[in-house]
Structure 1
Amino acid sequence: MHPRTETGSAPLQVSLLAIPEAAISTLTGVFDVMNAFAIVPPEEGAPWTPPPFAVEIVGLSAGPLELASGVPVTVQRSVAAIEETDIVIVPSVMIGPDGWQKARYPELVTWLEAMHRRGALLCSACSGIFLLAETGLFDGMPATVHFGYARLFQAAFPDVPIFPERVLVIAGRREELITSGASMTWHDLVLYLIARHAGATAAQTVARYFALQWHQDGLAPYIVFEGRRDHGDSAVAAAQAWIAEHFSVANPLVEMARRADLPERTFKRRFGSATGLSPIAYVQRLRVEDAKRRLERTEASIDEISWQVGYEEPAFFRRLFRRVTGLSPGAYRRRFRMPDFGQAGRGV
């Protein structure tokens, strides 16, 4: 293996794995940022000679490869020609409604296992974990994935504990199994790898140069709540359909149980079993989701929004909102509200 990057030492070999399902934005973004040390001015006292990483696009065979968007890239080297590498990164992949088709790339899974045995870090950006999970190396290990793919991933790989609200998860005895969450958290993955192998100063310099940001508040603020509907309990489904339109009513649990024509205790048990949430927790998530849209799109005060979604006590609403999203209502509004220059008819 190559030594960890220090002044004058050999660059770490980074193998960026391209498959037809890969998203070009993630693949090329990772490639450009990790290869950028030739153009990013180093901080004083931190020369990058040679650069800390040597990044190449690898795949089943060298040559042109059309990615999920239809845009071609050039695979620079076949994995069959790579006996060892320091870091493997699987970029985000596009997954259809039928989920990930296992065993499509047995040669790549075998190669990933071999690289891990020889000491390589295995990293995924977003949904790249679907391919890495086929190695079995992530069984019992915490990981993250795009929250939109979380249920598909759990169904495909039930032995991998998944935390879609987390930006970056580092696992394994050598901290060699690294996953990043939704879409643009490849920024966090790349900055982490730079900090780990080239130092914090290098990571900060690259972040400034590309205007990259760590997602320090996690991904909970980005997740749109969608209650489980595939449970097959018609009484619970009817209650869900009704409460989706009437979540601001007083005493929602009593009203849902009445409409389901079930004793309250029985309804609570069946609802929790079907959806994974208690009725009250479910209603709270619906109310917070509606509050998020109002914070993004209206000028209403936080106290007024609290009342509109069903809470007479603004202090309780604020605490609940922070618990669910990780941000205060005011901080959420500042982050997600459309800036003036982004609204129709306005310029910078």
Structure 2
Amino acid sequence: MGDTPISVGILVFPETTASVVYGMLDLFRSAGRDWGMVTEGRPGPELIRPWLAARGTQALEICNGARIFPDHSLADSPPADIICVPEVNLPPDAPLAGRYAPEIAWLRARHDTGTLLAAACSGAMLLAEAGLLDDCEATTHWAWCETLAERFPRVRVQPRRALVASGAGQRLIMAGGGTSWMDLALYLIARSVGVEVAMQVARVNLIDWHHIGQQPFARLACTRQVEDAVIARCQVWVAEHYAEPNPVSALVRLSGLPERTFKRRFRQATGMAPLEYVHALRLEEAKQMLETGDAPIEAIANEVGYEDAGYFSRLFRRQVGLTPGQYRRRFGVLRQALAGAGSVRVAGR
């Protein structure tokens, strides 16, 4: 990944919805930026620069009466690493031939220059109209799968698959229906700027696990560095030594303060008691290990500083809302899926 942000264009036309257009824009904007705000109190680097393109730059009324203000016209749009096509909010039997001629010509031209094209939901129909899906696997919203197969018999429709990467260099990406545009955005983030960034976006935005609540994603907003220089020095030390025995006693010695004074200033600076802070750091490291490896729970507990694996598991469940095994099954699967995206980079990056 270079220093220049990934350029992502989002195609806009009247038959789409603001939730997809602006939802994707928000997730792309989040990449790199929001994790820093949550964990360190300041924005991180801009990794993706999204923009909106339509036939013209005038305000455009789309579905449900929302108004969108495109950044560029199709004719004057800048170079892009990725172009995203939102859903076509029409009945599946609605004729599309000729309806999107300028958009289809633009997509075909961008694809010819090496740009990756990604379609959410029924947006795959525009890729098919452009002839880009011939002899390729594809997916779309379940209500459009039959229509896609009938109108374009050369397309190998995969109705059961939620995400398909197809074509030369896997530069044609399609997601199924509903809120799968979130999966599509995560895939594109992982593929263009890295799996860890995509995981951060998923955690910050609670993607795909809304029913669990926020706890599994709460990656220590309170660990950001504080203004108290003594406590900040202790934070730096404990970030590297949290697994050592009796870390709070070591922190007291490092601070040079009386124990009671140290604990008062630590809570005042971080909002957490020192031991609570140590537990939080240990659990965050345990989450990372659960996501990325298959080490036994007992080994992970020992690695992050707990001799009693049972105590570790109870603490993890109380703080995270899931057992370590449940956390691994949920988030390990997400990381594995995104790792597949991260192994295929955007052309030229």
From 15, 19, 26, the equivalent of 1:32 is 26
From 1, 18, 23, the equivalent of 2:17 is 23
* Aligned equivalents of 1:201, 1:127: Cα separation in 2: 29
Which runs of 5 or more residues in structure 2 are unaligned? 210-349
Alignment of 1:267-306 (within 5 A): none
Structure 2 residue 172 is matched with structure 1 residue 140: no
Change (3 A) 1:208 1:100: farther
Deviation at 1:48, TM superposition (A): 8.1
Deviation at 1:62, TM superposition (A): 0.5
3-state SS of the aligned residue for 2:59? Answer: strand
Deviation at 1:97, TM superposition (A): 5.2
Per the normalisation by structure 1, the TM-score is 0.56
Deviation digits for residues 90-120 of structure 1, max 9, x if unmatched?
0112122532421212221111111111110
Alignment of 1:1-348 (within 5 A): 5-6=1-2, 9-37=3-31, 39-42=33-36, 50-82=45-77, 84-96=79-91, 98-213=93-208
Which runs of 5 or more residues in structure 1 are unaligned? 215-348
Amino acid at match of 1:68: C
Deviation at 1:172, TM superposition (A): 1.5
* Aligned equivalents of 2:78, 2:66: Cα separation in 1: 29
Deviation digits for residues 267-292 of structure 1, max 9, x if unmatched?
xxxxxxxxxxxxxxxxxxxxxxxxxx
* Aligned equivalents of 2:80, 2:92: Cα separation in 1: 34
3-state SS of the aligned residue for 2:51? Answer: strand
3-state SS of the aligned residue for 1:54? Answer: strand
* Aligned equivalents of 2:136, 2:190: Cα separation in 1: 23
- Contact kept in structure 2, 1:65 and 1:73, CA below 8 Å: yes
- Contact kept in structure 2, 1:38 and 1:51, CA below 8 Å: yes
Of residues 84-93 and 36-45 in structure 1, the stretch that sits farther from structure 2 once superposed is 36-45
* Aligned equivalents of 1:39, 1:173: Cα separation in 2: 32
- Contact kept in structure 2, 1:112 and 1:135, CA below 8 Å: yes
Higher relative contact order (CA 8 A, sep 6+): 2
Deviation at 1:128, TM superposition (A): 0.4
* Aligned equivalents of 1:195, 1:210: Cα separation in 2: 15
* Aligned equivalents of 1:38, 1:170: Cα separation in 2: 24
- Contact kept in structure 2, 1:52 and 1:197, CA below 8 Å: no
* Aligned equivalents of 2:67, 2:6: Cα separation in 1: 26
- Contact kept in structure 2, 1:141 and 1:160, CA below 8 Å: yes
Moved over 6 A (4+): none
What is the aligned length? 208
Deviation digits for residues 238-272 of structure 1, max 9, x if unmatched?
xxxxxxxxxxxxxxxxxxxxxxxxxxxxxxxxxxx
3-state SS of the aligned residue for 1:85? Answer: coil
3-state SS of the aligned residue for 1:159? Answer: coil
Looking at secondary structure, tell me which structure has more helix per residue: 2
